[in-house]
Chains A and B, each alone.
Chain A
Amino acid sequence: MSLPDRIDPPPPKRIYRWDLDKTYLKTDFDTLRQLVRTALQSADQKVTVPGAAALIRELRERGDSRLCIVSGSPKQMRSVLEEKLKLDGVEWDELILKDNVRNVLRGRFRALRGQVGYKLPALLESRARGPAEAEEILFGDDAEADAFIYSLYADLLAGRVEESVLLKVLEHARVYDDDRQRTLAAWKKAERADKVRRIFIHLDRLTPPARFSVYGPRVIPVFNYFQAALVLMADGVLSAPQVVRVAVEMVQGAGYNLLTLANSFQDMIRRGHPLQELAHPLVEALQAPNPIMNAMRPVPDIIAAFTKRLSVLGAPPPPPRPVQINYLELLDDARPRNEKDKDLEDDEDEDE
């Protein structure tokens, strides 16, 4: 028997797609000063959203996945961002950044802030390049239009969106003609398959979770990555010790404590995610003789806090029901963030 000339790695079973700003990195660029400060930050000055790096490391642990990052940060920041990811111990396969210099030079000022015309073709092109059978789990935030773009991307791949709808979305988002053509071409090239399992939206701006119910149960707003890890454990993507390691990073690095973690757990159950069954394996993982778990002692207090949150909640609500997403009714969600900020401020003014 002769050995093969080379052994190709098995194709990835899963693709994780992450946004960077406000999803992976704690970034403020709401004012010009913040924007300048963000642009001038070195890698070690950039701050990771608590638990994000640990979650990615755990998701990548089995070596059967790809990490694709699509960020609206300019290409000029590539070296700083790459250094930051390396500092966090995060290995990536694709890092797609926005060519804003080119946009400025070509006078395409709408493209500087626009998200749909940038992210949607980037996602579809990346998908067309990747393995057709891989499932996807996406991570974004509530600052821009991630829930809208990711959901549209998922439904375009699944063949649930007609071309006429896509064209109307692109038109409403005032996407430049060449980007429209790119989007259509990439969509036609990508294989039709219903592969996007979850879309996590990090609630950086603490947007009310109910605002995402129009996107159905595939979109899960999370206040932190411990919540995302719990859902992924229920989905069989992560094991209990991996979830605990995410929690440990949040406790050690970002001041999370027993109360905030127990509250986060209860919040997910309150929102209809059936995570009650996770309690037992999590307890077992916590009791394992592992030095890293020392950050999570005393274990009986943790068990008591979590079980208490469960027992006092009353009957849990039913899980969120699937919905038919009407993208044409949600076109406003695809608007740039500064316009939506104004709406949120108006809402809060009305509350006064």
Chain B
Amino acid sequence: MPRPITIAFDVMGSDHGAAEVVKGAARLTLESPGIHALLVGDGDEIRKALEEIRHSGERVSVHHAPVFITMDEKPSDALARKPDASIAVATRLVRDKEADAVVSAGNTGAGVLACARHFQLIPGVRRAALAAVYPTQQEHGEKHDPFSLILDVGATVDAAPDDLVAFAVMGAQYSKVISKNPNPKVALLSNGVEPQKGPPRVVEAHQKLAALPGIRFSGNVEGLDIPKGRADVIVTDGFVGNVCLKMLEGVAETVVDLARYAYKSKLRWRAGLAMLSSGIKRLKSITDWEQYGGAPVLGFDQLFIKAHGRSRSKAIANAGKVAAKAVSANLAAAIREGLPR
């Protein structure tokens, strides 16, 4: 019998409290019999939450770690002051082979820093990257996902050309494993599609990626190509990636606000929106970020999935499934294989 995969859930620090993360992990134990959940956080809170929800008691264990880092704390200071914070304990448990991957909806910076302290970078990777999925016009991979992957979105602010090349390999391997996309199209984000466009590090990365075997590099894309989904994986540095991601989120929220405004303003507009409602619902369901659970931190020998702070149980459970899928496919080894020698 294959050894079950254990996912360590940092249950503390999410916007909806420990109970919601516990609920997500419990849901995972019901939906995926091959996955175990190791819940790291306040033992008493976890116990109370578990007692009230359906779960498989045989596939859940608890590691008491009541201290946690809040969203507004500075990661480096907080981790120094709270070495036994739940996020640090969860990553240590993965390092010590008590679990196979971490899922956390807590402080992103603290999560990335905890990975840096407790995990090893894959040989050939100098910097880690935080990858995020975003909805696109085009579908991708065997599963026809209306999502692309963008990385880095905040782990490494200054990325050298070699870092961008490593990000491209990491993103492509992740897309192969998770989106079942056997040959993902990888692009570099720049201010023009021509190879010589962009700052020197982007131009140099372009040259290196164009010469790298085993990767389907399609050249540069511009910002407008991101939502169109012209590539399966878009590579950029953490600064630009974070700005892009926030802008995409801002645009989506603004569209929703405008629709609300329209709904309230005129009866005719309201009627129009009502007629469109089933289509809007369908669109919302196929672009539901919760089905992807979270953003993986790539580049380490162990996997860390950062779930959105606002994640509900469905997103947490899906983050656990994504983590388990990456573990069973041995994502770290696949990345190591794909890196330039």
Contact = CB atoms under 8 A, between A and B. Distances in A.
A267 to B, nearest CB: 4
A224 B56 CA distance: 10
A314 B86 CA distance: 13
A206 B56 contact: yes
A23 interface: no
Interface string B1-32: 10110100000000000000001000000100
Interface string B161-189: 00000000000000000000000000000
B62 A259 contact: no
B230 interface: no
Given A266-B62, A312-B63, A351-B313, A271 B51 contact: yes
Contacts of A213: 51
B60 A206 contact: no
A206 B55 contact: yes
B52 A312 contact: no
A348 B313 CA distance: 12
A271 B49 CA distance: 12
Contacts of B314: 352
Given A313-B43, A314-B44, A351-B313, A259 B6 contact: yes
B57 A257 contact: no
Given A209-B51, A270-B47, A223 B56 contact: yes
Contacts of B1: 255, 257
Nearest to A264: B58
A223 B4 contact: no
Interface string A251-265: 000011101101110
A210 B47 contact: no
Given A259-B4, A259-B36, A270 B62 contact: yes
Contacts of B57: 203, 209, 223, 227, 263-264, 267
Contacts, number: 73
A317 interface: yes
A309 interface: yes
B196 interface: no
A193 B40 CA distance: 46
Interface string A184-226: 0000000000000000000100111110010000000001100
A312 B53 contact: no
22 contacts: A208-B51, A208-B54, A208-B55, A209-B51, A209-B57, A210-B51, A213-B51, A223-B56, A224-B58, A257-B4, A259-B6, A262-B61, A263-B58, A263-B60, A264-B58, A267-B57, A308-B98, A312-B62, A313-B64, A315-B43, A317-B44, A351-B23
Given A203-B57, A259-B61, A260-B59, 9 more contacts: A206-B56, A257-B4, A262-B61, A263-B59, A263-B60, A266-B62, A267-B57, A309-B61, A351-B313
